[in-house]
Structure 1
Amino acid sequence: MLDALTLDQMRTFVAVAETGSFRAAAARLSRVQSAVSHAIAKLEAELGVSLFDRSAHRPALTPEGRSLLADVRAVLLKVDTMRARARGLGEGLELGFTIALDPQFPIGLATAALKELHEAYPSVAVRIFTASLGEAVHALRQRRCALAISSVDIPDPQIERQALALVPRAAVVAAGHPLARRAASREPVTAAELADQLQIVAEDPSPLTEGRDYDVLSPGTWRVSDNPTKHALILAGLGWGSLPLWIVERDLAEGRLVRVPAAEFGPEGESLARVWLMRRTDEQPGPAARAFRETLFRQAGAWGATA
Structure 2
Amino acid sequence: MTFDQIRSFYLVAVLGTYAKAAEHLNATQPTISARIVALEGRLGVKLFDRSGHRVALTPEGRSFLRSAEKLLDIQADVFRRFDKPGIRGIVRIGASDTMAVTWIPSFIAELRAANPNAEFELHIGPSYRLHEELLARKIDIAFIVGPIASPELISHPLCRCPLVFTAAPSLGLHLRRIVSADIEKMDIFTFERMTRPHQELVRVLRTKNLSPRIHPVNSLQTVVLMVKKGLGVGVVPFGAVEEDVADGNLAVLNTDFSLSDTPFIICYPSGPDSHAVETLAQHVKEFLKARGSSDSIRIID
- The two structures have a TM-score, normalised by structure 1, of 0.63
Indicate whether 1:226 and 2:219 are aligned. Answer: yes
Please tell me whether the aligned partners of residues 114 and 292 of structure 1 are also in contact (alpha carbons under 8 angstroms).
no
Secondary structure of the residue aligned to 2:284 is helix
1:242 to partner: Cα distance = 1.7
Matched with 1:96 is 90
Please tell me whether the aligned partners of residues 112 and 299 of structure 1 are also in contact (alpha carbons under 8 angstroms).
no
1:29 to partner: Cα distance = 5.4
1:107 to partner: Cα distance = 4.3
Taking the aligned partners of 2:223 and 2:118, their CA distance within structure 1 comes to: 33
**Matching of residues 171-190 of structure 1 within 5 Å:** 171-177=165-171, 180-181=172-173, 183-186=174-177, 188-190=178-180
Please tell me whether the aligned partners of residues 80 and 282 of structure 1 are also in contact (alpha carbons under 8 angstroms).
no
- Counterpart pick for 2:182 among 174, 185, 193: 193
Taking the aligned partners of 2:161 and 2:252, their CA distance within structure 1 comes to: 16
Secondary structure of the residue aligned to 2:248 is coil
1:115 to partner: Cα distance = 2.6
AA at the equivalent of 1:127? E
Unaligned stretches of 5+ in structure 1? 1-14, 16-25, 40-76
Distance 1:184 1:95, change over 3 A: same
AA at the equivalent of 2:268? R
1:298 to partner: Cα distance = 0.9
Q: Deviations over 1:81-127 (max 9, x none)?
A: 75663453356764211011011126453233323322232121110
Matched with 1:301 is 289
Matched with 1:139 is 133
- Counterpart pick for 1:262 among 255, 261, 267: 255
Please tell me whether the aligned partners of residues 110 and 296 of structure 1 are also in contact (alpha carbons under 8 angstroms).
no
Q: Which has the larger radius of gyration?
A: 1
- Counterpart pick for 1:241 among 231, 234, 238: 234
- Counterpart pick for 1:159 among 150, 153, 171: 153
Distance 1:120 1:299, change over 3 A: closer
1:201 to partner: Cα distance = 1.8
AA at the equivalent of 2:224? H
Taking the aligned partners of 1:228 and 1:140, their CA distance within structure 2 comes to: 24
1:283 to partner: Cα distance = 5.1
1:28 to partner: Cα distance = 6.2
In the alignment of these two chains, the number of paired residues is 232
Instruction: Give the root-mean-square deviation of aligned CA atoms.
Output: 3.6
- Counterpart pick for 2:270 among 266, 269, 281: 281
Taking the aligned partners of 1:203 and 1:281, their CA distance within structure 2 comes to: 28
Matched with 2:244 is 251
Q: Percent identity?
A: 17
AA at the equivalent of 1:109? W
1:78 to partner: Cα distance = 9.2
Matched with 1:120 is 114
1:237 to partner: Cα distance = 1.0
Taking the aligned partners of 2:56 and 2:113, their CA distance within structure 1 comes to: 47
Secondary structure of the residue aligned to 2:162 is strand
Please tell me whether the aligned partners of residues 174 and 236 of structure 1 are also in contact (alpha carbons under 8 angstroms).
yes
Unaligned stretches of 5+ in structure 2? 1-15, 17-50, 60-64, 206-210, 293-297
Secondary structure of the residue aligned to 2:99 is coil
